Structure 1
């Protein structure tokens, strides 16, 4: 615990409460869990969007703050990550469609599983993009990023230099462990809506990674 920052402690406490309540409601009142705790546009889902957006803004802040001090590949890397997380935040709330009460176009009404204006619920040849890309592919990426990359970064200098060149934050093992613990806790929630809690933990832990990566020097002036 002595190596944890104050923000780490606050974030972990927050996630413990979120998972704790999730496990409790999933096992005592599944209707409440599905229709209140993890409901669309509820606290959990909006929380995910907020933390993803904060991560995007943090990356953009660093991009502009260090723009004149960094090389092109560094700028490309951090800007790409900022765009990805902004996209994730927008998708999470269907780009504000429900907030602003905007109706979906005919295309999304016919091809989106939830008839919303977003890509992750699109259906192609009877298969949801969310399952193919945002679940299966994302799982592979997370395993590589959270487990393989930190190991290679510590072992090979050329990989270390490449990662730093593109401003990719390297995960500290504590954050990898937090992800694994969160994944394991999903077993105790017997509902498809449990993935909303997982997405929230994803957004929180990634913000922690960006705030305090192993290679924090990539966010300083050269």
Structure 2
């Protein structure tokens, strides 16, 4: 059940190329890495937004195509993922603000670290929401989800029942390995904007998880 599909192989190849390009510019042309490769509305940020939106679309498909075959808790879990990934994709591009040339309201101009219309760059007092929630807390959740829950799901019946009941996809080991390798490759990049590449890696890996999880029966008719 952990065999790589053709889609997995293509996705990991693309991700590997992105990591190598990032490392190359990170060590040879830091200015281009920061102001070109990972710039706001640049290729990396758009790649992240697209991958998150793809997970949203896939979840919508699951909800509507399996609605009559699944129970209420499964529908609730899938709906939660729809909201989560739509929100994440919108936040990544500041809800299209720069695309459509929309000026931020007074609240966001005063309380957003970048003066943009999004929540993850808000500053409360001296605390950046992005650092507290979207970095530290989210990283903790990702570590638990990608490294701990695969063991628990395979060992504990109550974990299997809970995840399957709420339509929570379980990672395969190659997803976990990709996460670990990606973490190492990003960590050695000297740029302060290297985490933009990390977000893209997360987006792509999550798309693969939702596309073909270890417990893929949750996306099958009962």
Task: Flag whether TM exceeds 0.5 (same fold).
Answer: yes
SS of residue paired to 1:97 = helix
SS of residue paired to 2:98 = coil
Superposition deviation, residue 156 in structure 1 = 1.0
Superposition deviation, residue 188 in structure 1 = 2.4
State the partner residue of 2:25. 25
State the partner residue of 1:216. 216
Give, in whole Å, the separation in 2 of the partners of 1:43 and 1:116: 19
Matched, 1:45 2:40: no
Give, in whole Å, the separation in 2 of the partners of 1:43 and 1:186: 17
> Size of the alignment, in residue pairs?
221
SS of residue paired to 2:100 = coil
Give, in whole Å, the separation in 1 of the partners of 2:17 and 2:11: 10
Superposition deviation, residue 3 in structure 1 = 2.0
State the partner residue of 1:35. 35
Give, in whole Å, the separation in 1 of the partners of 2:192 and 2:78: 33
Q: Deviations over 1:151-197 (max 9, x none)?
A: 11100112101110000000001101100100001132111110110
Matched, 1:83 2:83: yes
Deviation above 3 Å: which 4+ runs of structure 1? none
Q: How does 1:96-107 map to 2 (within 5 A)?
A: 96-107=96-107
SS of residue paired to 1:25 = helix
Matched, 1:95 2:95: yes
Give, in whole Å, the separation in 2 of the partners of 1:205 and 1:171: 9
Superposition RMSD on alpha carbons, in Å? 0.9
SS of residue paired to 1:14 = helix
Q: TM-score, normalised by structure 2?
A: 0.98
